Each structure stands twice: as C-alpha cells, then as structure tokens.
Structure 1
Amino acid sequence: MSADAEQRAIRCLVAKVGLDGHDRGAHVIARAFRDAGFEVIYSGLHRAPEEIVQAAVQEDVDVLGISILSGAHNTLVPKVIEGLKEYEAFEDTLIIVGGIVPDDDRAKLKELGVAEIFGPGTPMKETIEFVRNNVHDRD
C-alpha cells in the first residue's frame, strides 16, 4: 500500500443488492469497518446491480462489500462486476462478498473477480485485516 493510501481512509461501499431484505450483517460490518477507521457508505436495501455500480463509481470506493443472503449471488454479483468493468472501475476496486454462498459457488465467483467470500460467523478482525492487506494501491 502506498503512503498516500495509508494516510487516507479506505473508502468502502457496503451494498445490499437485489430483493434480499436481511441487513443485520451489513450493518454489523459497516460499523466494524467504521470503527476500524474506514470511510463507509451503506447502499440501503433492495438496490439493483446498476445502482450499486453507480454508487461505487461516484463514490470512488476502494472496496465494494456485497452482502447477499437471497441465493441470487450467481446472478447479481456478476452483473455488478460487469458494470464495474464497463466503467473501468473493476481493476481498482476490491470486491468482497458476505453472506450465504454455498461452497460449490465460491470458485465461480472468485474466477469472476471476487477477492474473498466471508460467511456468517467470520470474525470482524479477519475481514478488516483482509481488506487492509488486499486493498488496491491508488497512485
């Protein structure tokens, strides 16, 4: 990480995509990120992939955390990734997913560009350290 990145807060968008209305985990991670010194934006519930992409691009986030429990991860996460690519924001954005993702689906999401998938019960410290160690350099 560059000296500039160390001096400025890591900007994170915590996003709830699709019809998933369960947002307790998103609120918990948003608060943990904030308490760790990250700058956090929360999307609110029921956002379309296009809305998430627009928010990530407009806010120039370093990290996009997608919280999904609905089972639609194989449809919605790829749409978000494609949108980021269209705006040439994919390479600069660390994408993480939190929620219920079956083991069989994890490899496909990682092949598409998801850096890591965190399931229920993952210690906050582990997620925060992963972000700090893997956030892209923004020279």
Structure 2
Amino acid sequence: MAAPGQAARVLIAKPGLDGHDRGAKIVARTLRDAGFEVVFTGIRQRVDTIVATAIQEDVSIVGLSILSGAHLALTTRVIEGLRVADAVDIAVVVGGTVPPADVPRLRAAGAAAVFPTGTSLDAIVAEVHALSDLG
C-alpha cells in the first residue's frame, strides 16, 4: 500500500514469448494518468525477472499482460515466485486473452483480479485503486 499522499506503484509486465504490447502500454498509460507510478518492463520478460523487478521497485501490484494462452502457468509462476521471495503483500492481476472459464482458476491460483480482453479501462483503474488501498 502506498503511504498517504504517495502514489501506488504498479509494475506492468509482459511475461513469456508474447510480443504484442499495445494493450499493456495503453493500460500502463491509463494507470499513470490516473495517478499511479507505473513501471513498464517491456516484452518477453522472464518470471524471475518480473519478481525481482517487483521487489526492487517496491510495487504494490504486478499487472501481467498475457495474450499467448499461457496465462494460467505464467500467473501461477509469478505468484509462487513472489511467495518464495516473501513478497506476498504484492498483489498480482492479469489481463489479456483469458477465456471466461479460466477466470475462477486464475483467482484460485491467487490472482487478485482478472481483466479479460474487452474490460473497460475505467474498470481496470477502479479495481487497481481498490487493491492499492487495501494494503
């Protein structure tokens, strides 16, 4: 959770081999414009790099943008990596090409929120605000 008067920090990451980052950049810019401090890692990030960057940058939320179909495996690995690093206070959210049937599976794996393709930017901002205020 961000200190009073301080913007919450959010890491937007593109794990795996997916090279499409337009949506992630739009979300990153939207969150920045909504008052968040945003760290954008770029494409083709390794899970261990995402975890290390989240800890180093002292973020409260990691947003994973996944279009490759590997959302279950990659999200689970990031959550597990944060757990092993004793950084369970960092919430993980995932967005992208997520079939409706996989939303409960991602939530059960520990995702704090899931944003399938087509989720409005306003809904994403509202949910990230709610998560950053929980601490």
Could you say which residue in structure 2 is the equivalent of 1:59?
Answer: 57
Q: Distance in 1 between matches of 2:100 and 2:93?
A: 15
1:48-74 CA distances to partner (integer Å, 9 max, x unpaired)? 111110111111101110000000112
Q: Distance in 2 between matches of 1:74 and 1:36?
A: 28
User: Any residues of structure 2 matched to 1:53-132 within 5 Å, and which?
Assistant: 53-90=51-88, 92-132=89-129
1:65-120 CA distances to partner (integer Å, 9 max, x unpaired)? 00000001121111111100011112x11211110111222111101110111122
TM-score, normalising length from structure 1? 0.91
Q: Distance in 1 between matches of 2:91 and 2:81?
A: 14
Residue identity matched to 1:72: A
**Contact 1:16/1:44 (8 A) holds in 2:** yes
- Shift of the alpha carbon at 1:136? 5.4
- Shift of the alpha carbon at 1:131? 1.1
Residue 43 in 1 paired to residue 54 in 2? no
- Shift of the alpha carbon at 1:20? 0.5
Identity rate of aligned residues, in percent?
46
**Contact 1:65/1:98 (8 A) holds in 2:** yes
Return 5+ residue gaps in structure 1 as ranges.
none
**Contact 2:99/2:116 (8 A) holds in 1:** no
Could you say which residue in structure 1 is the equivalent of 2:13?
Answer: 15
**Contact 2:28/2:40 (8 A) holds in 1:** yes
TM-score, normalising length from structure 2? 0.93
* Secondary structure of the structure 2 residue equivalent to 1:5: coil
**Contact 2:61/2:90 (8 A) holds in 1:** yes
